[in-house]
Amino acid sequence: MRWRDGVELVVLAALWGASFLFMRAGVGEFGPIALIEVRLAVAALFLLPILVWQHGLHEFGRHLPALAVVGTTNSLLPFVLFAFALQSITAGLGAILNATAPLFGALIAWAWLGDRLVWPRWVGLAVGFAGVAILIWDRASFRDGGSGWALAASLAASVLYGLSASITKRHLGGVSPLTTATGSQVTAALLLAPAAIVSWPSTAPSAAAWAGVVTLGIASTGMAYVLYFRLIAHVGPAKAIAVTFVVPAFGMVWGSLFLGEPVTTRMLAGCAVIVAGTALATGFIGARGVSAAAVRASR
């Protein structure tokens, strides 16, 4: 990997890690649904001109139904679930739980697509889910004031990312990543729009909240996708998946720096165990070849 590719990988991890900061900072004023509608719409408006420039509209139209399904499972639902969760948990914890997506992706690909899981990958799954247990042990209370529903929503979002990776592999395998990304954002924004109109906040969000969510859409979604495409093209998906292991660190750093969130020993331990398990389960350690869909399941 060239030094420039390494820099882009770190920048991508920083942008994806910052998405949890922006969601947590803005969800109080927008609410989960309106916040994500703005994120999706901004990202779609950012990516669509690039797709037009690359002459990808015809491919977009041919695969519209599958793109709508991927937009729902890879953007609309998991984004809303994480926005809901971040009303109760820290940005750092959200970023760590997001890192479990490749674990669910590997398990779903094995059960649905028949992907082979050799014993080191089974060990990785066990290790990764042990890391989840470390994180949520004695936190998953569903009583008033507990974070049980937020933790459940975060893990459900990660399951959807994993499911979307298999859907993408099965139905959009020959479609360019730019078309998949743009199509998923456009369709997700259109599908969520009615709910966003109904749930739009009665009190106008502040200028700071608007600036944060627009930055979320442009930087942490649109620009992040562009960097992701470049990495896939330059170093391949097997190396690009390394971004998955760095995102939780940035999620914790941004949350601590800008929101004053604590970084606990349990968070660090759980993060380390999940990352180690993910590296084994995805084949980054001990096996060759990782699909681009596995990388897409990491946000």
The whole-number pLDDT of residue 289 equals: 47
Q: Residue 286 above 80 pLDDT? A: no
The whole-number pLDDT of residue 284 equals: 79
Distance from C-alpha of 163 to C-alpha of 106, rounded to nearest angstrom: 9
Distance from C-alpha of 267 to C-alpha of 256, rounded to nearest angstrom: 12
Interval 105-122: pLDDT, tens: 999 999 998 888 889 899
Q: Residue 200 above 60 pLDDT? A: yes
CA neighbor of 299 nearest in space, from 2, 30, 38, 23: 23
Which range among 18-32, 73-87, 164-178 shows the weakest confidence by mean pLDDT? 164-178
Q: Residue 155 above 80 pLDDT? A: yes
Q: Residue 297 above 60 pLDDT? A: no
The whole-number pLDDT of residue 174 equals: 87
Cβ neighbourhood burial of 232 (10 Å; 0-12, 13-18, 19+) = middle
Average confidence (pLDDT) over 171-178: 89
Average confidence (pLDDT) over 244-251: 92
- Specify the number of domains making up the chain: 1
The boundaries of the domain holding residue 144 are: 3-296
Which range among 5-9, 49-53, 221-225 shows the weakest confidence by mean pLDDT? 5-9
Distance from C-alpha of 82 to C-alpha of 58, rounded to nearest angstrom: 32
Which range among 9-23, 200-214, 272-286 shows the weakest confidence by mean pLDDT? 272-286
Which range among 74-83, 100-109, 252-261, 287-296 shows the weakest confidence by mean pLDDT? 287-296
Predicted TM-score of the model (pTM): 0.92
> What is the band of 1 on the pLDDT scale with cuts at 50, 70, 90?
low
Mean pLDDT for the chain overall = 90
> What is the band of 234 on the pLDDT scale with cuts at 50, 70, 90?
confident
The whole-number pLDDT of residue 273 equals: 95
Which range among 40-49, 55-64, 126-135, 231-240 shows the weakest confidence by mean pLDDT? 231-240
Going from the C-alpha of 5 to that of each of 227, 233, 278, 289, the distances in angstroms are 10, 10, 22, 19
Q: Residue 291 above 60 pLDDT? A: no
Write down the H helix ranges in the chain: 3-30, 32-53, 57-62, 64-71, 77-85, 91-98, 101-108, 119-136, 148-171, 177-198, 207-217, 224-235, 237-240, 243-259, 265-281, 292-296
Average confidence (pLDDT) over 182-188: 97
Average confidence (pLDDT) over 209-231: 93
Going from the C-alpha of 252 to that of each of 146, 148, 239, 257, 264, the distances in angstroms are 21, 20, 23, 9, 10
